[in-house]
Chain A
């Protein structure tokens, strides 16, 4: 399962590398360069635009839920099982709560999970992947082995088992569990990209300048991989949303939290589909799908955008392998 390029430990002779990398000619620092390119790309790519608009809408709703939904999400103040009307856009639950309000107020919980777990997962992956590629030797061996083992163990059952022992998880617990188990795929991707960067001229230059290893990793290596890191964050955020919602749905979340997964849990508990209240279950599911689609669309777009940027790196790797 180890990558074929893992055996490279020596630096290639300087001057043979293609000089098309970000730091080769222009004085632009790689990070701002990449970010500016991304911003431009988001505007020009239809998928990216759609994803951004969707995500911005969700973020706004989560920031100002009270503006959109005037009812309290938890108060069982109305008659139960009302159909959709102008007063209750989606009707009320079997407990007499306003469904639309629940949906709107539930956005925040899901977004927090998506962003915190997505960022934390990606952070661990960057740390492990880059460290494995850069430290090499025994470090690489053990970190890669850990990554591979975690990659093969089925994640969702593992999450269920952990949450089961913890008697269901509050939102921080869910985030923690998803973060600790979900970083392996990204770490592997980042490791192989960091490995392919190792012999590049601008890194060699930094080394000759006498920069410390940590400086090289943080200032020189990681900014070069920024497009892959952003794409990984989007994937991880998507899976955090799906996994957390699934756990909440099967009753392993906090049943009192306001979130889409918890709505689904109560809908399931009250047999909403069978008792003529399909919206109770379908609406939160549709919201999860829409938020997930926002991340997926952005990710797909970044794939299209990011790959040309990675091309010089790839070419270098192929040359090296021969």
Chain B
């Protein structure tokens, strides 16, 4: 229980740090960059919008920095992230709401896929240590870990999209011939568009899971209870799955949480390469269009997503590992 509370405190603190980064950055930059943005849109904005933006970025204000900070936190806590300037006059929240499900679908599915597949391969590689799989996989993934995410995406676009014409490689669906609906054609359309970016994400992230699972599994295989199971003459598969893998997967779950930052950066770049209509592509559009309110909110959202995933991994570890329960 104390552990859970300390963990919760840490999450709150991290979120507060992210908020503070959002608050400080535009104010720290030489010549507040938001000033240029505001003057660009000056004629088109309503007074309320302007006021919300003033609070967010600290322009046109005579308040002291601490006072600005308080009103900033208040405004963000009430969920007001201002108006998106690229998608004027939509609010930032509604713009993000339209993009987030694309990312949740694409990144969620491919991360679960990569984690399951990678962990499975790691188990087998460690079990047959020195075997063919084990001698090929680790060196291969040492090399692939150095390949930029977007480059994998580009190769996929070139080979499967442009040369072979197998699959679409731009956007989330055929914008010109299809409209979002619940029809099976639209569903198939979305699926077809998700294959290439999803595959690219799986390929770029799977190596981490394989390597960490293999390494913890090798440590676990040296434990006494595994030797005991062998001595009892239990079938190999049973030892591999129920004795070794079951225990080795716990550190992998923690590793899963720690590596999510990489999944996020991979997803941003992959979405950019495929013009996928998710939050990663939106973040880059916001940066290029100097849509700072949208950019701030997306950064917060991504931090929150990582924190939530770590929380889920924590809960899973607590459920799976009796030691953490008694210790708490």
A161 an interface residue at 8 Å Cβ cutoff? yes
A251 an interface residue at 8 Å Cβ cutoff? yes
Q: In the assembly, what is the distance between CA of A289 and CA of B152, in Å?
A: 10
A57 an interface residue at 8 Å Cβ cutoff? no
Report yes or no: A250 in contact with B272, Cβ–Cβ below 8 A. yes
From A152, A157, A163, A165, contact of B307 by CB (8 A): A152
Report yes or no: A278 in contact with B158, Cβ–Cβ below 8 A. yes
Report yes or no: B264 in contact with A160, Cβ–Cβ below 8 A. no
Measured between beta carbons, the chain B residues less than 8 angstroms from A63 are none
A68-88 CB contacts (< 8 Å) to partner B: none
Report yes or no: B265 in contact with A246, Cβ–Cβ below 8 A. yes
Measured between beta carbons, the chain A residues less than 8 angstroms from B142 are 47, 293, 296-297, 300
Report yes or no: B148 in contact with A156, Cβ–Cβ below 8 A. no
**Closest CB in chain A relative to B168 CB, distance in Å:** 13
Known contacts A152-B306, A156-B261; is A296 also within 8 Å of B146 by CB? yes
A90 an interface residue at 8 Å Cβ cutoff? no
Q: In the assembly, what is the distance between CA of A163 and CA of B268, in Å?
A: 15
A137 an interface residue at 8 Å Cβ cutoff? no
Measured between beta carbons, the chain B residues less than 8 angstroms from A252 are 287
**Closest CB in chain A relative to B169 CB, distance in Å:** 9
**Closest CB in chain B relative to A293 CB, distance in Å:** 4
B26 an interface residue at 8 Å Cβ cutoff? yes
Known contacts A154-B306, A158-B21, A252-B287; is A285 also within 8 Å of B158 by CB? no
A220 an interface residue at 8 Å Cβ cutoff? no
Q: Do most interface residues of chain A lie in helix, strand or loop, or is the interface mixed?
A: helix
- Stretch of B12-20, B43-51, B107-115, B180-188 contacting A (4+ beta carbons < 8 Å): B12-20
Measured between beta carbons, the chain B residues less than 8 angstroms from A249 are 148, 150, 269
A211-261 CB contacts (< 8 Å) to partner B: 238, 242, 245-246, 249-252
Report yes or no: A162 in contact with B25, Cβ–Cβ below 8 A. yes
Nearest B residue (CB) for A145: B13
Nearest A residue (CB) for B147: A289
Report yes or no: A157 in contact with B151, Cβ–Cβ below 8 A. no
Nearest A residue (CB) for B273: A268
A155 an interface residue at 8 Å Cβ cutoff? yes
Nearest A residue (CB) for B33: A165
Nearest A residue (CB) for B263: A154
B295 an interface residue at 8 Å Cβ cutoff? yes
CB-CB contacts of B1-28 with A at 8 A, as 1s and 0s? 0000001001001100110011001100
Q: In the assembly, what is the distance between CA of A160 and CA of B287, in Å?
A: 8
Q: Do most interface residues of chain B lie in helix, strand or loop, or is the interface mixed?
A: helix
Known contacts A153-B17, A154-B265; is A281 also within 8 Å of B154 by CB? yes
From B14, B145, B151, B298, contact of A153 by CB (8 A): B14
Measured between beta carbons, the chain A residues less than 8 angstroms from B302 are 154, 157
Report yes or no: B151 in contact with A289, Cβ–Cβ below 8 A. yes
Report yes or no: A296 in contact with B154, Cβ–Cβ below 8 A. no
Measured between beta carbons, the chain B residues less than 8 angstroms from A127 are none
Known contacts A148-B10, A292-B146; is A156 also within 8 Å of B268 by CB? yes
Interface size on A, residues (CB 8 A): 47
Report yes or no: B146 in contact with A238, Cβ–Cβ below 8 A. yes
A318 an interface residue at 8 Å Cβ cutoff? no
**Closest CB in chain B relative to A170 CB, distance in Å:** 14
Report yes or no: B145 in contact with A296, Cβ–Cβ below 8 A. yes
B288 an interface residue at 8 Å Cβ cutoff? yes
Report yes or no: B158 in contact with A273, Cβ–Cβ below 8 A. yes
A166 an interface residue at 8 Å Cβ cutoff? yes
Nearest A residue (CB) for B17: A149
Interface size class of B (residues with CB under 8 A): 35 or more
CB-CB contacts of A155-194 with B at 8 A, as 1s and 0s? 1111011111111000000000000000000000000000
Nearest A residue (CB) for B7: A1
Report yes or no: B25 in contact with A165, Cβ–Cβ below 8 A. yes
Nearest A residue (CB) for B26: A165
B91 an interface residue at 8 Å Cβ cutoff? no
CB-CB contacts of A1-31 with B at 8 A, as 1s and 0s? 1000000000000000000000000000000
Report yes or no: A296 in contact with B143, Cβ–Cβ below 8 A. yes
Q: In the assembly, what is the distance between CA of A251 and CA of B286, in Å?
A: 12
From B13, B25, B310, contact of A149 by CB (8 A): B13
A295 an interface residue at 8 Å Cβ cutoff? yes
Nearest A residue (CB) for B151: A285
Measured between beta carbons, the chain A residues less than 8 angstroms from B14 are 149, 152-153
Known contacts A149-B17, A246-B269, A296-B146; is A157 also within 8 Å of B298 by CB? yes
- Residue of B14, B151, B162 with highest tally of chain A CB at under 10 A: B151
A132 an interface residue at 8 Å Cβ cutoff? no
B299 an interface residue at 8 Å Cβ cutoff? yes
A269-322 CB contacts (< 8 Å) to partner B: 273-274, 278, 281-282, 285-286, 288-289, 291-297, 300
**Closest CB in chain A relative to B45 CB, distance in Å:** 20
Report yes or no: A152 in contact with B310, Cβ–Cβ below 8 A. yes
* Given A164-B292, A289-B143, 4 further pairs, Cβ under 8 A: A164-B287, A242-B146, A264-B150, A281-B154
Interface residues of B (CB under 8 A from A): 7, 10, 13-14, 17-18, 21-22, 25-26, 29, 33, 138-139, 142-143, 145-151, 154-155, 157-158, 162, 258, 260-261, 264-265, 268-269, 272, 283-284, 286-288, 290, 292, 295-296, 298-299, 302-303, 306-307, 310
| Closest 5 A/B residue pairs (Cβ) | A292-B146, A156-B265, A285-B151, A164-B287, A289-B147
Contact sample, A vs B, 23 pairs, CB 8 Å cutoff:
A149-B17, A151-B258, A153-B17, A153-B303, A153-B306, A154-B260, A156-B264, A160-B287, A161-B22, A165-B29, A165-B33, A242-B148, A246-B150, A250-B284, A250-B287, A273-B157, A278-B158, A281-B154, A282-B158, A285-B150, A288-B151, A289-B143, A296-B142
